[in-house]
Amino acid sequence: MNTEKKILFGIDDSEFALQAVTAVGGMLKNSRDHKVTLFFGAPDPNLPFLSKALGLSAEAIEEFEKVCTLEEQKVLDRCKEALTNSGFNSDRVEMICEAKCSDPAYHLLQLATEQGFETLALGLRGSARAERKLMGSVAYKLAHTAKDQALWIIDPRISSRDVLVALVGAPIGIRVVEHVVTYFSHLKDSRFTFFHVTPPLPPQYWDDARILDTKERQEREEQISQWMKGYTDRVKAIAVEGREKLIKAGVPEKNVSFKIQRREGGIARDILEELENNDYGILVIGRKGSKEIDQFGLGSKAHKLLHNAHALAICVVN
């Protein structure tokens, strides 16, 4: 994984975007090597239509274009100011404006691919949020299409900087740990909890359509016990490696823990309960778990958490 910490942050002209930028600035201010590029996809004012509808002269249209350009720059300047006022170093901030942008999500992805950004960030909601959705339209699109980048979706009401790292025991778990170490190990005073909810038993361990005798029942229980141990050991190995890397990066040993529990209300629901009961401000999860569930390109657990978790930064790792 590339250790360069470049973040492409999509903004708009909303107050929510300012708040999200401020929250991320506070989260990253103590790191010396994060770089943030603010991207504003300015809407197309459709000048030919305005000229025809209002009977504007060429000179008036040219003047209007200048005003639009100034307003677009003001949006970027306000967000940069919010970022630096939160304590983030202004020398590590760049700004890009895409004029006449009809699809900010598409342009964000295109820019990320062209310039090698591995992490995208944006606020949970935008200036034109549909009430039927919990996420704004750009966040919604990126959540389901940004398959090659990690995606941070920020609800600026972040209550803490403690980190919950959701592990599923698949190869994605290793990438989740790498992302945590690369992007959050500067949070020396934060709690880091590697959290795992054991999945339901595979079908081969389900009870048969008949009642098992004592010997068969004992054999089945031994098989289940071995499966659980093997699965848990693999997850623990990922967590142990992550713990060692965080400690090596300077996080105090007492601030890193591992928690595993049996599934109670469902994996996503159990993660939500852990978040709510223990005041985490950052959740890091994999885009997909061990099953190749292709629900709009997003795993079912990540999908549920993005729509139901609040007051934190959710980091979805590809």
User: Do residues 119 and 176 share a domain?
Assistant: no
pLDDT at position 198 over 60: yes
Q: Say what the pLDDT of residue 36 is.
A: 97
Domain boundary among 139, 156, 173: 156
Question: Per-residue confidence at 61, pLDDT binned at 50, 70, 90?
Answer: low
Q: Check residues 90 and 32 and name the one with the higher pLDDT.
A: 90
Q: What is the pTM of this model?
A: 0.85
pLDDT at position 109 over 70: yes
User: Do residues 119 and 243 share a domain?
Assistant: no
Q: Say what the pLDDT of residue 140 is.
A: 85
User: Do residues 14 and 129 share a domain?
Assistant: yes
pLDDT at position 244 over 90: yes
Domain boundary among 132, 156, 180: 156
Mean pLDDT in residue range 238-260: 96
User: Do residues 131 and 165 share a domain?
Assistant: no
- Minimum mean pLDDT among 14-23, 105-114, 284-293: which range? 284-293
Question: Per-residue confidence at 39, pLDDT binned at 50, 70, 90?
Answer: very high
What pLDDT digit, counting tens, does each position of 130-159 carry? 443 456 788 888 988 888 899 999 999 888
User: Do residues 217 and 115 share a domain?
Assistant: no
pLDDT at position 116 over 90: yes
**Domain span at residue 41?**
1-156
Q: Say what the pLDDT of residue 201 is.
A: 67
Q: Say what the pLDDT of residue 67 is.
A: 73
Burial pattern 182-212, b for ≥16 Cβ within 10 A else e, equals: bbbbbbeebbbbbbbbbeeeeeeeeeeeeee
User: Do residues 72 and 54 share a domain?
Assistant: yes
Residue/partner pairs of 293-299 with CB below 8 Å, 24 or more apart: 296/144, 297/144, 297/145, 297/147, 298/143, 298/144
Cα–Cα distance for residue pair 273/264, rounded to 1 Å: 10
Q: Check residues 212 and 147 and name the one with the higher pLDDT.
A: 147
User: Do residues 193 and 90 share a domain?
Assistant: no
Question: Per-residue confidence at 54, pLDDT binned at 50, 70, 90?
Answer: low
User: Do residues 105 and 9 share a domain?
Assistant: yes
Domain boundary among 156, 183, 206: 156
Q: How many distinct structural domains can be found in the chain?
A: 2
State what percent of residues in the chain have pLDDT above 70: 80
Q: Exposed, middle or buried by CB within 10 Å (0-12, 13-18, 19+), for 75?
A: buried
Mean pLDDT in residue range 105-122: 95
CB atoms within 10 A of CB 83: 26
User: Do residues 76 and 140 share a domain?
Assistant: yes
What pLDDT digit, counting tens, does each position of 71-89 carry? 899 999 999 999 999 999 9
Say if CB 271 and CB 305 are below 8 A apart: yes
pLDDT at position 121 over 90: yes
